[in-house]
Amino acid sequence: MKLTKLSFLVIAATFSWLSPFSANSAGLDFSATLLSRTYSPALSINPTLGYSQKIWGDTETPWYGFVRPNIVGVLSPSLYEGKIGIEVFPVSILGLDVKRTWSRRFRNTEGQDCLQVQCQGELNYTDVSLQSYLGAGDYFASIRWTKTFFDAVADSSRPIYDLGASFLIRPTGDDADFLTIAAGREIEAHVVGS
C-alpha cells in the first residue's frame, strides 16, 4: 500500500541566525522553529544546526553549489526525534536532502484507539527530498517532494499511527510521499540594536 498525503503545518514562529558565506565559503547556521497544528493537535520546537560549504560558483548570484550537513531535534509533549542529514545543492536553487530520523513516541494520541493501533514506541525512518527555492525581490517560492521510508517495527503486529502526518503505517515497514509548496513575501526583521 502506497500512502500519499499533502501535509499542512502552520508555522507559528521562526527564530534564526545565519552567518553568510565568508571568505572561505563556509558558514554555520542555527534555527529554532515553533510548529503547531489543529489535527491531530500538536506543538513542537525544532532546533537545527547546519554547516554550509560552497563547492563552486559565486555566492553573490544564484549560480553556485553547496553541501550542508545538519542535525535537527524535535521536542514536543508527545515525542522526541533526532535527525542527521546532508543537503547537496549542485546549484543553489535545486537540491537533494537525505535525512535519517530516530523517533520515540511516549503518549497515546487523542482521538485514536490505541488498543487497535500502536500509538507509542519507536518509529524510525529515512527521508529523501528533492527541493527547489526561487526568489525575486521580496518574493519567494519553494517546492519540496519527499519520499519517506518507515522502518519495520519488530515488536508490533498492529498498524502504527504516525503523529507527523496523521496516518497509519504497516508494522512491516512502509513508505509515503509528501509534497510541500510555499510562496510568500519577506517580512523585514525587527531586531533591537541592529
User: Running along the chain, 194 residues long, what does each successive block of 10 average in pLDDT?
Assistant: 34 38 68 82 89 92 93 91 96 95 86 85 94 91 96 86 81 93 80 49
Domain assignment present for 104: yes
The pLDDT value recorded for residue 157 is 86
Distance CA 174, CA 3 (A): 8
Question: Contact 40/163 with Cβ under 8 angstroms?
Answer: yes
The pLDDT of residue 8: 34
Using CA atoms, how far apart are residues 133 and 159, in angstroms rounded to an integer?
A: 36
In a domain, 192, yes or no: no
pLDDT of residue 39: 66
Q: Cα(187)–Cα(81) distance, rounded to whole angstroms? A: 30
Chain segment 111-133, per-residue pLDDT in tens: 778 888 888 889 899 999 999 99
Per the domain annotation, does 194 fall within a domain?
Answer: no
| Whole-number pLDDT of residue 112 | 79
User: With the CA atoms of 48, 51, 52 and 54 taken in that order, what torsion angle do they form, in degrees rounded to the nearest 10?
Assistant: -170
Q: What is the pLDDT of residue 107?
A: 82
Q: What is the CA radius of gyration of the chain?
A: 18
Give residue 9's domain range: 3-185
CA 110 to chain centre: 23
Taking the mean position of all CA atoms in its chain, how far away is CA 19?
21
- Structurally, the chain folds into a number of domains equal to 1
Whether 174 is in a domain gets the answer yes
Residue 193 lies in a domain: no
pLDDT at 25: 62
